A = this chain, B = another copy of it.
């Protein structure tokens, strides 16, 4: 969800810049995370996520709605999100999905921690840690912090996801 369909970083950076009167941009965070870039205040930066509304108004990542709507015709789509580290986020995440992806059934939402519990043919994820224990085909979705990761099938945006899946339509795969 975060960094794949929901623009977590943009909001996080905005709150950080406001609170610390800085003007950090995504360009400053290539290959790293905000909390690693400012390790002395990492704990404080992470508390932003405990605000139950933090996840309410994240921008939708470009083209994700259109591509998932199209994929949905050919694949069984689940949205799995690592929500357990921030239990305050449950309701906001659920409502965000209902708002922006109304064509998906909530029976296909999965709030989890360790994604090794996911059984699917493909997993599109920004976090290599999640892909490592996944037994299907992992696909790394580019996010600023993961640009130096190698050894994964990588997609840079949803147009590339579309090309990856819709060039070889297959109605029985789940995503």
Contact = CB atoms under 8 A, between A and B. Distances in A.
Interface of A: 78, 80, 83-85, 87, 90-91, 94-95, 105-114, 116-120, 135, 174
What 7 A-B pairs come out closest when comparing CB atoms? A107-B113, A119-B119, A90-B90, A111-B111, A84-B106, A107-B114, A110-B112
Contact of A94 (B90, B107, B114, B116): B90
Contacts of A106: 84-85, 87, 113
Given A87-B94, A117-B78, A135-B119, A111 B108 contact: no
Which of A80, A114, A120 lies at the interface centre, i.e. has the most chain B CB atoms within 10 A of its CB? A114
- List the number of copies, as a whole number: 2
